[in-house]
Structure 1
């Protein structure tokens, strides 16, 4: 329709252009009720040649317009890419523009740099000709591997020497006098459970810790030496503030005559217990402080809580006991044996491997520390016996296995052990040793089990 209209308009223009613009007067004769006249139509002859020429010009103009529209469309499509390129170039030029503005380089400097680059390229080509690149790379790789192995060897020797020095410095005199008890350093076996009892709080409390007061020399002190204790965790098996203690073994077995000790006003208090690594040693309760990398010591006599921070210690599920299933909130684990009180943990500096520190239970500070090569998340639990760290792993629902030992007296480890332990459920929330009766105490998903250590 548009083409037809333009063509008609063009025709009218052409017809108009054929005349010289002057109107003609033609006389006529009146006959009856009409007027007749003679007209020469040759003066209005159709200009076909001009029409074709103008039509061709219109077609050429339409084609040019279409080409221009396509170019505009293509330019619009490429415009974002062009802008991005400009921004990139501008950003890359800014540092050099700054150098130029500050007068820090000139064209002469660039020529000098180009010359030095050419010389460097010539030197590299010469080296490649003298020493083939494949051989050079091979020698480089061999040197790198050699350095890596040497560094690992040196680090391991340093770790062993450090552990040996710690061992020589920290063996207490009272322990040396008791070598008859620990003359055979490594356990040879573990008995079947000698005590099997559900938690006095019920089996629904699947995480916690329990045992017997573990400090030697207090057995005959009235109200101190023999008492047994249970510490259940609440709030998602994470927190607690109550330690229930029994004055005798008979009271514990019968679940009577107990005393509930509150180490904090509530389980959400800053001094509350986090995790199942609690230990009662002497007249104090030792545990991981609430939501904190710090260790807490609650004095049962004075009711005072002391705190101790170990640098770089993993906490809040950073390095819990894991193996088959992770036992949450077990980053920090207290232990006791014939040599004293210990804390077992991991650090980022030791790459998540087990770290062992001996504590002064009264002054509440770290006396000495040993590092191991055993990754903490690869074990289900750990405990101390006669200055030796033992670690366990999951076998099946009814069995654990002691598979690893680290002797603090020599600084050496042994991963060839295979001492079986029976259990009732999957999870091992806590496992600790008591040097008074030489038994192991396990909190096993709401069950309280104890075993006799055999040497």
Structure 2
């Protein structure tokens, strides 16, 4: 009987302990679920707040973008108006330049009148007049013209690299293209029309030179090609190449102390050869420390240097130059390509001085000239401007001696 009672009491205690244990476990699980629900509610509230802030930020961004768009439209309209005003000013400047006659000055004893008649300012004896005229003819050649303006501009095409040179032989209709700043090839076309109609340089005759030409400073004169070659840092040479026989006929060194670009804005131009009515010329710099451009008159047959001048035209900000009737016209620009202008003139016959010559402006085009070559037969300039081949027709007038 006692045993049964003990078993009943033990069983009752066991059920009571299990009940308390499971009740505690359920309470713990319920508390954890409530904590998770509270955390989920907190996350939901935070997500809702972030979403609301994102919508507000998006709205502000859209409003800012619309404001910037409106301001951009107003600014673009202002720029269009400014560009139109600049174009109008440039057209007016071009008109003024075409209407302005250049002032030329030289020897005060003599005068060349517009009609081409030669005379003296004062009446003197015949012997004295003959001596004066002999002195005058010893200094002045038959070419007595100066550029008065740019008559017209023709953009022929765009071919090749941004820098290069093209020209026409004054004694024929053939056109020669030097693409780039160095190479051993020259492209020959039968005429300017053939070059303008050709796609690129195809359809041309390719001349392979025995050595590389350096810089866009070559020249074509009387069936010969004159170009610059460089074998060392200071070993700069002028090469005369016979295009008919395909051989080099002469090579000459020219006097430089160290390698220096003749134009600061075109460092590839080590020297610049030019041909005009009076023959073959060479523009160069004696050294990198020399601030001015030097001019040498060369014998086209032997490449001998006949005379050297200091043009007193600075190399700084110069981009190109050309020679007309023994007068050097140096073209200047800025580091950021702007409107090219002739700002310095040097006449080997002392008939024109730079201070009294007019400033000639080139019509604004693309960038800056890599080369400018004058053709005395056509009175035209062949320019290479940022890969564009351009022809400038010039107006001329006689030099005046006062």
Q: Same fold (TM over 0.5)?
A: yes
Cα distance, 1:417 vs structure 2 = 2.8
Residue 187 of structure 1 corresponds to which residue in structure 2? Answer: 147
Check if 1:319 corresponds to 2:258. no
After superposition, give the CA deviation of every residue in 1:111-165 in whole Å (9 maximum; x if it has no partner).
Answer: xxxxxxxxxxxxxxxxxxxxxxxxxxxxxxxxxxxxxxxxxxxxxxxxxxxxxxx
2:285 corresponds to which residue? 346
Give CA-to-partner distance per residue, 1:254-283, whole Å, 9 cap, x none.
Answer: 12641111113xxxxxx2101110111122
Could you say which residue in structure 1 is the equivalent of 2:213? 273
Aligned to 2:132: none
Structure with higher Rg: it is: 1
- Correspondence for 1:259: 205
Which of these residues, 337, 360, 372, is aligned with residue 431 of structure 1? 372
Correspondence for 1:399: 339
State the SS of the aligned residue for 1:377.
Answer: coil
CA contact (8 A) 1:320 1:377 kept: no
Match for residue 370 of structure 1?
Answer: 309
TM superposition shift of 1:411: 7.1
1:292-303 matched pairs, under 5 angstroms: 292-303=235-246
Aligned residues: 253
DSSP-derived class of the 1:399 partner: coil
User: Greater relative contact order (Cα 8 A, min sep 6): structure 1 or 2?
Assistant: 2
Q: Distance in 2 between matches of 1:350 and 1:372?
A: 16
Compute the RMSD of aligned alpha carbons: 2.5
Correspondences of 1:18-57 after superposition (within 5 Å) = none
Is the 2:152–2:394 Cα contact (8 Å) retained in structure 1?
A: no
Give the Å deviation of 1:345: 0.7
TM-score for the superposition, normalised by structure 2: 0.58
Correspondence 1:307 to 2:251: yes
Question: Which structure: greater strand fraction?
Answer: 2
Which whole-Å deviations, capped at 9, do the CAs of 1:218-258 have from their partners, x for residues lacking one?
Answer: 3xxxxxx110111112xxxx421111111122211112641
* SS in structure 2 at match of 1:194: strand
SS in 2 for 1:263: strand
Structure 2 CA distance for partners of 1:206 and 1:373, relative to 1, 3 Å: same
CA contact (8 A) 1:170 1:368 kept: no
CA drift of 1:328 comes to 2.1
Q: Does 1:445 align with 2:386?
A: yes
Deviations along 1:163-215, whole A, 9 cap, x unmatched?
A: xxx997676xxx52xx4xx3xx331111341243112xx3xx1111101113x
SS at match of 2:196: helix
Consecutive unaligned residues of structure 1, counting only runs of 5 or more, are: 1-165, 219-224, 265-270
Give yes or no for contact 2:166–2:177 (8 Å, CA) kept in 1. yes
Contact 1:397/1:424 (8 A) holds in 2: no
